[in-house]
A and B are shown apart, each in its own frame.
Chain A
Amino acid sequence: MTEDADTLYREVILEHARHPRNAAPLEHPHRRARAVNPLCGDELELTLTMDGEAIREIGIQVRGCAIAQAAASLMSKAVKGIALSEAQALGRAFADHMHGDETSLPAELDGLRPLEAVKQHRSRINCTLLAWQALGEAAPLVEK
């Protein structure tokens, strides 16, 4: 085994992939979005309930690889309780960081550090961004 794959599939990633947090769909969501990775066909569905501007609950279902699963799980932990617009800004910062910008990772995203190993695997970076992409597009559901 080379160090490359060892670093990529470290225990915290595998643990989140096996037991993703916040993986249940929300029953009465206020917002919803879907994201698809056109390169591999991975799909992700995200639902949110809101307390005003803040994210109260988040539910993410991923049909995809371990990296996408773990990234969604780690992200869901990081954004709970903060304002949606703030979370979306964190997502943009994370995307910049993963794409190699010299920006440092915001402190709020410390828990996502294990994903930094993916930066060395260009074709997999989008796997780490799928959940953030959905969050960026989470549209309000019209009340009936």
Chain B
Amino acid sequence: MSFPSPETIRADFPIFRREFHGRPLAYLDNAATTQKPRAVIEALVDFYEHHNANTHSGVHTLSEEATELYEEARGRAARFLNAPSPRCIVFTSGTTAAINLVAQSWARPRLQPGDEIVLTAMEHHSNLLPWQQVARETGASLRYLELDGEGRLATEHMEKAVTEATRLLAVTHVSNVLGTINPVERLVRQARAVGALTIVDAAQSTPHLPVDVQALDCDFLAFSGHKVYGPMGIGVLYGKSEHLDAMEPHASGGGMVLRVERDGADWMEAPWRFEAGTPNVAGAVALAAALDYLQGFDGEALRGQEIALTGYALERLGERSGLRLYGPSDPAQRAGAIPFSVEGVHPHDVAEILDGQSVAVRGGHHCCQPLMAHLGVPALVRASLGLYNDTNDIDRLAEGLERVAGIFRHD
């Protein structure tokens, strides 16, 4: 375990050697994707240079190596989530694919009219549209848990989060827009009490918080490799074995069958039955390297540092006139995202001018249009933190906002 300074951590990330408009990059778009440490890039290269072969099919040395590396990566992902077994880990292309898998394989064949899927008003489209689709196809209905003034789940909604009709609770662990940390353990307990299952979107929590699926006791959980310093195109679905074993595959083809005849086939057991086609082996191997990298730090110290930096950012931004912050005022109740609006200036114009100062933030609806409607804004600017950010990045953000004010002065 180590806890080096953000400056030392930045040295692990080759991209920070590059200059943008003649300046080093203040990268504050980590909720969209994180940068990659050298260890992850090298894991990708090492796989393709030394171990590249298809898995589970060949008896030759390379194929056996590739298979072993792939299955080791599954074990690494299981340890990352404290899953009871690697067999609870399905590799997918990312969080979106993982949630769609549950929607198609678990929910669609099981839900019917009168059943209820409970969501929150802060869900990313990827934990919203698959459920809209399931509801349309099965006749089930959607219900939303509403937010309070600070972008947290409202207490009165929490108390009545589930009903006897609830079959599934689909909730994000951390909001990609507001940064709000949701009380997932409590929601899972409530769901369990009425016999409903839970799926947790952990895309935004895994980069910032320890995520223990056995402590959460959720039925499914999904996260993306590229948001935890791993490569794009690889992600994880965790599912309790009792569910995965009972689910039909959502896609079929090579690599997921025991025996095929002209008129039928027998599926492999879970998780392999959900991994039709050649898997992203290099991605899985590099994801394992990313998890090693992330868990090589003292997680508690890292979290403490992040809370302090979030507090600093809320303070620096909060003192600007015409700037409105969204999300919980207590930095300890949030992780990563710091959204705001600048009076009279569209978020895209803010992001464009900041880009000119080599400060990377995102402006837009952040794939949360219903949340934008709830907040009464078309879009927001979002700065989001990663391991390598420090107060200097926040200062540069604040200076950039000074330029925004200069350009859009009202006269």
Contact = CB atoms under 8 A, between A and B. Distances in A.
Nearest to A121: B352
A39 to B, nearest CB: 7
A105 interface: no
Contact of A41 (B21, B356, B369, B408): B369
A38 to B, nearest CB: 10
Interface in A44-86: 63-67
Closest CB pairs A-B (n = 3):
A5-B356, A65-B346, A65-B348
Given A14-B408, A40-B364, A1 B352 contact: no
Contacts of A41: 364-365, 369, 372, 378-379
Contacts of B393: none
A4 interface: yes
Given A2-B21, A63-B378, A39 B364 contact: yes
Nearest to A41: B365
Interface of A: 1-2, 4-6, 8-9, 14, 18, 39-43, 63-67, 121, 124, 127
A66 B403 contact: no
Contacts of A65: 346-349
Given A9-B407, A40-B364, A64 B352 contact: no
A115 to B, nearest CB: 14
A8 B356 CA distance: 10
**Size class of the B contact interface (CB-based, 8 Å):** 20 to 34
Contacts of B116: none
B374 to A, nearest CB: 14
Given A1-B403, A9-B349, A42 B356 contact: no
A64 B346 contact: yes
B165 interface: no
B178 to A, nearest CB: 17
B356 A40 contact: no
Most B CB within 10 A of own CB, among A40, A63, A64: A40
Interface string B370-385: 0010000011000000
A64 B378 CA distance: 8
B209 interface: no
Nearest to A18: B410
Given A40-B364, A42-B378, 14 more contacts: A4-B356, A5-B357, A9-B349, A14-B407, A39-B364, A40-B363, A41-B364, A41-B365, A41-B379, A64-B346, A65-B347, A67-B348, A67-B349, A121-B352
B370 to A, nearest CB: 12
Contacts of B345: 66
B123 interface: no
B353 interface: yes
A40 B353 contact: no
B115 interface: no
Contacts of A124: 348, 352
A39 B22 CA distance: 29
Contacts of A67: 348-349
B346 A66 contact: yes
A1 B345 CA distance: 17
B355 interface: yes
Contacts of B408: 14, 66
A64 to B, nearest CB: 6
A57 to B, nearest CB: 26
16 contacts: A1-B356, A4-B21, A4-B355, A5-B352, A5-B356, A5-B357, A9-B352, A14-B407, A40-B348, A40-B379, A41-B365, A64-B346, A65-B346, A65-B347, A66-B346, A66-B349
B377 to A, nearest CB: 10
Most B CB within 10 A of own CB, among A2, A18, A64: A2
A67 B408 CA distance: 12
Nearest to A39: B364
A2 B357 contact: yes
Most B CB within 10 A of own CB, among A5, A67, A124: A5
